[in-house]
Amino acid sequence: MSISYQHTPVLLHETVQQLITRPTGVYIDATCGLGGHSLEISRRLNAKGSLYCFDLDPRAQAFAKDRLSEYENVHFIQNNFDKIKMAMFIEEIEHIDGILYDLGVSSMEIDSPERGFSFMQDGPLDMRMGETELTAADIINTYSQDELTHIFREYGEERFSGRIARLIVETRPYFRTLPLVNCIKNIIHGPYVTKTLARIFQALRIEVNHELDAIKKSLADALDMMNPGGRMVVISFHSLEDRIVKQFFKTAVTDCICPPEIPVCVCGHKAIAKKITKKPIIPSEEEIKTNPRSRSAKCRVIEKL
């Protein structure tokens, strides 16, 4: 199959450089998407190394498979990255040497109006990355006003969550993106509208795909599977994702995690990793100019002890 699509992977060389410490090792690209990072990883592995490419999205997997077809040691697993342990166990692999996460949606997903991720184009209120049941329309049309307020506030960090939820409940059903956008525009005007729409759409996408729970589970499972010296490299695009990664990394690299008011350690927790980058790696101005979608990216790296 040959599908054509232009896209630029974020922080490509920086992340792959950090990830590969052993070219003969077993690596995972947890969010293979269109395969931009996977391609660079495959180029840097030698014939004994292998790469396992996860993605929920069958279209992204088809695209990446085609793109990486010349590499024999690349394997594709269409599954949620929160199933990494089980999926790798089925492949008879218990230990890995590195994993990369490039979180969020791919440019192909955003640019396909029929997927419903974009508030700029009309499409069905879908927003599913994989082949799951719950759609954004189900959430908009069946959640209570309180539940909608909660997800807009928690997953979108939107100030006007309550007012937006109330108007949606009063005027629903909604089945397409642009009518929902117009509903929100009745409340938010002028320069704030784009940011609000981005927050509401982000909140719906996170709820549809249970994104934050999947990240938490996957980070823990992957670090558990990591060989000493193996690295976990995570690119996040918004504060909710980054907070989870930062907190997870902090716990992984810290010996005692007792609350500060306890004078003597009672937790017995021991660090299992060390930080490789003190501050997150961010894109250069040049990268942001050529690929504006990279502007909010933050990459953090730890290494298993």
Ligand X SMILES: C[S@@+](CC[C@H](N)C(=O)[O-])C[C@H]1O[C@@H](n2cnc3c(N)ncnc32)[C@H](O)[C@@H]1O
Contact residues: ligand X, CB under 6 A? 9, 31, 33-37, 54-57, 60, 80-82, 102, 104-106, 129, 214
Edge-to-edge strand order for the sheet containing 74-77? 74-77, 50-54, 26-29, 96-102, 226-236, 298-304, 273-275
Least distance CB 35 / ligand X (angstroms):
5
The smaller minimum CB distance to ligand X, of residues 114 and 146, is found at 114
Maximum alpha-carbon separation in the chain:
62
The smaller minimum CB distance to ligand X, of residues 149 and 202, is found at 202
The smaller minimum CB distance to ligand X, of residues 129 and 181, is found at 129
The smaller minimum CB distance to ligand X, of residues 77 and 180, is found at 77
**Where are the strands (E) in 45-139, listed by range?**
50-54, 74-77, 96-102
Least distance CB 44 / ligand X (angstroms):
14
Least distance CB 110 / ligand X (angstroms):
9
Least distance CB 31 / ligand X (angstroms):
3
Of 185, 243, 196, 203, the closest CA to residue 219 belongs to 243
Least distance CB 138 / ligand X (angstroms):
19
d(CA 108, CA 131) in angstroms, rounded, equals 17
Contact 73, 44 (CB under 8 A): no
Cis check for the bond before 259: say yes or no (omega within 30 of 0): no
> Strand, helix or coil at 4?
coil
The smaller minimum CB distance to ligand X, of residues 26 and 105, is found at 105
Task: Tell me how crowded residue 25 is: count the other CB atoms within 10 A of its CB.
Answer: 21
